[in-house]
Amino acid sequence: MIRRLGTGLVVLWAAATASYVALLLAPGDTVDILVGDGPDTPEIRARIVAEWGLDRPEIVQYLSYLWRLLHGDLGRSYQAQRGVGEILAGQVGPTAQLTLAAAGTGVLLAGVIALATAGRGRWARGVASAAELVAVSVPPFLIGIVLLSVFSFTLGWFPVSGAQGPRALVLPALALGLPIAGVLGQVLRGGLEHALEQPFAVTARARGLTERALVARHALRHALIPAVTLAGWFTGTLLGGAVITEILFGRPGLGQVAMQAVTGRDMPVVMAVVLLSAVVYVAISTLLDLAYRAIDPRIRT
Amino acid sequence: MRRPVRRRAPAALSAAVLLAALTGCGATAAEQAAPATLTWAVETQPITLNPQQWSQNKTRLLVFNQFDALLSKAEDGTYHPWLATSWTVSDDGLTYTLDLREDVTFHDGATFDAASVKANLDQFLVPGYNPAVAAIQLRSFGRAEVVAPYRLRITLKEPDGLFLDFLASPYAGQVSPESLKSAKDLKFGGPDLVGTGPFILDRYVQGQEIHYRRNPAYRWPPAGAAHQGPAHLAELTYRFLPEAAVRVGALTSGQVQVIEGVPATEVALIEKDPSLALRTSLNSGTAYYYYFNTSHPPFDDKRVRQAFREAVDLDAVLRSVYRGTATRAWSVVGRRSPFYDASLENSFGGDVAKANALLDAAGWTGRDAEGYRVKDGRRLTVREVASAPYVRDRRDVLAQAIQAQVKQNAGIDFQVRIVDQGSAQRALDEDEYELFGNSRGDADAGAALNLILPAKAAINRTRFADPRVDKWLADASASSDQAARKKLYARAQRAVVAEHAVVFPIYVPADQVAASRDVQGLGFEPASGTPASAYDVRIGT
């Protein structure tokens, strides 16, 4: 566990440094970004350089950046001129809500569909995999627009925007969760069907185990391993998809903050979001390790 | 860092219609029954809510809900009372004496007086507070003195005809001096930066919404307001919906009552819907136009600059890109500004034969395998560099349409590059561009011209210098005589548009607001042409 923690810290330091170097290598200097497309006079530039401490050597700026990070100080946003930590603090909650709801929706839908169709007739399988294919291949943006048009603008069942109450979470969670359900459903069904053809399944059936009990007690365990591996991939999809989903639905969250920061080249915010993603990634992969151990006894030591 | 964020230009709408929208409901305003709440979907999130840090044209409508300026400005460029009841300017143009309203209180209960105005002005002198405003709009500011509780004397270092424009701008939004000291995030503003406006900001959720409640004590609207006393609406929510299709859907399904930023593709839909009303206003400031970089070939040759303008059938381009909702520009100055020089109309553009004759005369006579003109083995290539965050109104599509026209009509290779802000800035600094497109939202077009046209101007992207233009603009800036300024600005416009052809005016940006029919009193700010605050807005018939 201590080794894992050490690896995690190295990953975080690498992420912090990589984003810092990327900033250095990016075209145009920081002063240009702070000036924006407004009046650009030597006087204004001099004031900005002094205010942001941009006249110090780059290595000094890098070390002081790391030093501040160690103290939990994420710096100040160029655009909003507020503390980055404060900007992110209000946004983590809504994004966590959205991504968890989306992941839950995806896993639940995939599980239900896979269990209902694995090893069943060609017709049921065909419909399910066609639906999964659509969910995977249609961009979340389009799914979101369609969901909004039908369930919000036409039927009026759900509000278009905001993070007030669970009702406002339904459509965004669906828009973000459907592609996950698509991929996961296919993998899970494939795994289940593969497991059901294994010798142990034949043995179990011979012992008089019902098909239902076989799937639930034995096959599912085998099918889960590749599905759990995919969870790492979800993390990326969810964070990326959250950007589009949050903007489309007018929800607060890290996605729209990241989007604004990238288009405005607000580097302190961009770097903080990168770091946060790294933290989440490290946390998720640790949890996955634990999950493997729970699912597959062979990994336990 | 001013960021005029603006929309597509509409079919010309007369000022009379706009005025009717602004004032038409005055008579019935008092009869309104219960105070109401309103939700308004906006496209752009404010970068800051501090009026003195204001930088986005699109957030003017938020600023003046919470804050009042010292003066107000009418569409004809004249100034009127707001928190200042009267003002005098000394003959040498150096001393401004303001008399202030004596019945105004800030939302935190503090009294508004000469001392608070002085505190607001002095705040700009704090290093790093707003370097751009300190160096541009307030460069002539000397000092402010309290001569009586409600009388303030401001001394300038040099005469500045645009100082009144500053006093009527969001920068002169009056903030309670106590909150200037205590606000947690001074530069960002937010609920703990306190104003005197008709609404009190009580909630800001980044990425979601901004919520105001009515200021019950309010009775100091600017001259020209449709009613007196507190605002009609008890509560007001601006919801951020960046996606245009979602804004329109939210409006048509009744989830919001007002939207701004109506895309050209949806205009017909909204006009057909009897329960909705669309209002449009041209913006003030400068038109959207291409700057020709005159510092190196090929645009150091006036004939090539003229040829580029003649090679484009702009009316056809605007029709196809904006579906007939754009207003063609003929000058640097927007059509809505009192300084607009109408004599430039129909003076250039769309003559393909002339374009080709000009290029032949300029020596671009050869053609390469792809049909582009060549001279001394070099292709007639011009590059536009644009910073992605500032590309709006589908200006990327517009550029592609123009690209196709100049290629087909005159053999010009027009390359469009949309890059990040840093790369764009570097290209500009290193003179690695031939074309640059921009528009500015300044309420006083003269302020924009000062930043663009003089040889040493802060954003002189044409790199063109004409001492006469510099002199006219300097004289106009120093004068507060509107008629004299108009004459000087007309000369400057004719010099850069007609005489030297250093710019290519394209369209006049505009704002569109669509609303449910029962929302009354929506209007546009007379000086800027951007959506006005919600002070006069009410629900009812």
β-bridge mates for residue B239, sequence order: B41, B209
80-119 of A, contacting B, C-beta below 8 A: 80-83, 86-87, 90-91, 94
Cβ-defined contact of B208 to A161 (cutoff 8 Å): yes
The pLDDT value recorded for residue A300 is 59
The answer, for A36 touching chain B at a CB cutoff of 8 Å, is yes
The answer, for A41 touching chain B at a CB cutoff of 8 Å, is yes
The answer, for B125 touching chain A at a CB cutoff of 8 Å, is no
Report the distance separating Cα B434 and Cα B420, nearest Å.
Answer: 18
* Tens-digit pLDDT profile for residues B318-332: 999 988 889 999 999
More confident residue, A225 or B238: B238
Pairs of CB atoms within 8 A across A/B: 166
Cβ-defined contact of A148 to B249 (cutoff 8 Å): yes
Report the distance separating Cα B486 and Cα B178, nearest Å.
Answer: 41
User: Does the interface ipTM go beyond 0.90?
Assistant: no
Shortest alpha-carbon distance between residue B434 and chain A (Å): 17
* Tens-digit pLDDT profile for residues B184-219: 888 888 899 999 999 999 999 888 899 999 999 999
Mean pLDDT of B128-151: 90
- pLDDT tier, B226 (very low <50, low <70, confident <90, very high otherwise): very high
Shortest alpha-carbon distance between residue B420 and chain A (Å): 7
The answer, for B135 touching chain A at a CB cutoff of 8 Å, is yes
Kindly state the helix (H) or strand (E) to which residue B38 belongs, with its residue range. strand B36-42
- pLDDT of B409 above 50: yes
Looking at the partner chain, which of B205, B252, B438 has a beta carbon nearest the beta carbon of A153?
B252
232-261 of B, contacting A, C-beta below 8 A: 239-243, 245-246, 249-250, 252-255
Report the distance separating Cα B426 and Cα B432, nearest Å.
Answer: 8
Contacts of B245 in chain A (CB under 8 A): 145
The token pair at B125 is: 């002198």
CA B180-B442-B321 angle, to 5 degrees, is: 130
The pLDDT value recorded for residue A39 is 63
Angstrom distances, CA of residue B405 to CA of A39, A137, B26, B115, B443: 33, 37, 49, 59, 33
- pLDDT tier, A171 (very low <50, low <70, confident <90, very high otherwise): very high
The pLDDT value recorded for residue A163 is 62
* Tens-digit pLDDT profile for residues A75-126: 888 777 788 888 888 888 888 888 889 888 988 988 888 888 776 777 878 8
Looking at the partner chain, which of B2, B185, B242 has a beta carbon nearest the beta carbon of A38?
B2
The pLDDT value recorded for residue A115 is 80
The answer, for A156 touching chain B at a CB cutoff of 8 Å, is yes
Query: For residue B321, which amino acid is it?
Result: V
The pLDDT value recorded for residue B56 is 78
Looking at the partner chain, which of B2, B255, B420 has a beta carbon nearest the beta carbon of A159?
B255
Shortest alpha-carbon distance between residue B223 and chain A (Å): 31
Contacts of A38 in chain B (CB under 8 A): 1-3, 55, 132, 459
Shortest alpha-carbon distance between residue B288 and chain A (Å): 15
The token pair at B459 is: 């954003």
Taking CB atoms within 8 Å and a gap of at least 24, the contacts of A288-293 are A288/A228, A288/A229, A288/A231, A288/A232, A289/A4, A291/A228, A291/A231, A292/A225, A292/A228
Looking at the partner chain, which of B249, B388, B459 has a beta carbon nearest the beta carbon of A40?
B459
Arithmetic mean of pLDDT over chain A:
80
Contacts of B273 in chain A (CB under 8 A): none
Specify whether the CB–CB gap between B515 and B42 falls below 8 A.
no
Angstrom distances, CA of residue B322 to CA of A25, A76, B164, B316, B385: 38, 39, 36, 10, 22
The answer, for B388 touching chain A at a CB cutoff of 8 Å, is yes
β-bridge mates for residue B367, sequence order: B373
